[in-house]
Amino acid sequence: MNLHLLVPALFWPDTGFPDIYRDLSLPALENLIAKCSSDEDESEGLEAWLCRALGVAKQQDWPVAPLTLLIDGAEDIKAGNDYWIRADPVHLHIERDQIVLADSRVFQISSQEAEELTGMLNRYFAASSQALVFLPLRPDRWYMRVTKTPAAKTHLLGEVANRGINELLPFGANQTFWRGLFNEIQMLLHSHPLNQLREVHGEPVINSTWFWGGGIMPESPSSPYTRIWSNNVLARSLALASHTDHIQLPPSAAMWQQSATSGHHLVVLDALYGKAQYADAYGWRESLKELERNWFTPLWTMSRQGLFSRITLTALSGDRSKNFTARRIDLRKFWRTPKPISIYAG
């Protein structure tokens, strides 16, 4: 059996904060990495890695929208050959001298609220020559099918979360239209009664949408994996598009082992990702401790028992990915002694 672990934000993104690793007890993870050979690549983030891994090429954007439509779309809503783009609800707020974006991981939005807000947008844009229609297929995942507007070049939502947006707005030849639309939507949402009510209740207002992940459905993605285990909607969508088995991520490696069969498995452990993006140092440390207990410790035991022909751990961090790979024979190399995890983070 081959196992590939994908762990976004395994290393804390701020290398100027080495104390984040102080007193972290991670013997299983450190022992496992010590037996591995390593290499480093450029990375554009979690969505880009998943697309590349399953044979999806970048268009102007990574085509997240038509892919996730496979999961979110109803029977009468299919990607077809149309251009689709995500237009997810977000909260913008001012920090110091910049406008910072927060996505739905830090606020709640109900189906009714999503319907109200997109209904208002659709009524407003009904007379537009661009024929824009917003589809809230999930409360926190909105879509637009674009038939008369040039495609956008955008930044992934994961690249923008908890960051200033001034330098991350749509760019390229068609940026004037998309930036203008972005500003117009802000003005419309700002004055909506629903947002006034949210403000009274102390909830973050939904005052913009973020355009990202536009494209047309890619042809025949191909997967090198026998099975994908994750709670990530894009991973699930790519599995469906490539006819690969997909199973929700179990709580632990022990439970995973009960269902895992021979083949090549991808396991996406993304519990650290949001904590790192939103600078939640305590939450990140606690989540890493939990991964050590529930995943790395039993996987280290399985590795020593010879369960894996090859085990690979890919850590995504900022614009880099670090790959740690061990074959069964490598696990017997006793001279490769463990080092603190902070050594690999630098």
| Confidence grade of residue 129 (pLDDT, cut at 50, 70, 90) | low
Sorted by sequence, the CB contacts under 8 Å of residue 79 that are 6+ apart come out as: 66, 69, 70, 73, 216, 217
Under a CB-based contact definition with an 8 Å cutoff, are residues 313 and 331 in contact? Answer: no
Per-residue model confidence (pLDDT) at position 146: 85
Q: How many CA atoms lie within 13 A of 240 on its CB side?
A: 15
> Over the stretch 255-306, which tens digit does the pLDDT of each residue have?
999 988 899 999 999 999 999 999 999 999 999 999 999 999 999 999 999 9
Helix (H, G, I), strand (E, B) or coil at 97: coil
Do strands 98-102 and 83-95 pair parallel, antiparallel, or not at all (unpaired)?
A: antiparallel
> Over the stretch 24-48, which tens digit does the pLDDT of each residue have?
999 999 999 999 999 998 888 999 9
Each domain of the chain, given as residue ranges in start order, spans 2-55+222-345, 64-215
Q: How many Cβ atoms from other residues are within 10 Å of residue 234's Cβ? A: 22
> Over the stretch 46-99, which tens digit does the pLDDT of each residue have?
999 999 999 999 999 999 999 999 999 877 788 788 899 999 999 999 998 899
pLDDT above 70: residue 106:
yes
- Integer Cα distance of 92 and 163 in angstroms: 10
- Integer Cα distance of 270 and 287 in angstroms: 10
Q: What is the mean pLDDT of residues 97-115?
A: 96
Retrieve residue 298's tokens: 């039993």
Residue with the two structure tokens 């939005």: 109
Per-residue model confidence (pLDDT) at position 67: 97
Q: What is the mean pLDDT of residues 304-319?
A: 93
Query: What is the pTM assigned to this prediction?
Result: 0.94
Per-residue model confidence (pLDDT) at position 96: 87
**Measured CA angle at 145 (ends 138, 137), to 5 deg:** 10
Residues recorded for the chain: 346
Please state which of the four CATH numbers 3.40.720.10, 3.40.640.10, 3.40.50.10490, 1.10.3720.10 is assigned to the domain occupying 2-55+222-345: 3.40.720.10
Q: What is the mean pLDDT of residues 148-172?
A: 91
- Integer Cα distance of 127 and 124 in angstroms: 7
How far is the CA of 86 from the CAs of 9, 165, 215, 268, 294, in angstroms?
A: 24, 17, 10, 22, 34
> Over the stretch 202-215, which tens digit does the pLDDT of each residue have?
999 999 999 999 99
pLDDT above 80: residue 150:
no
> Over the stretch 235-244, which tens digit does the pLDDT of each residue have?
999 999 999 9
Q: Return mean pLDDT, the chain.
A: 94
Q: Residue 100, exposed/middle/buried by CB under 10 A (0-12, 13-18, 19+)?
A: middle
How far is the CA of 24 from the CAs of 144, 274, 285, 342, in angstroms?
A: 44, 19, 8, 10
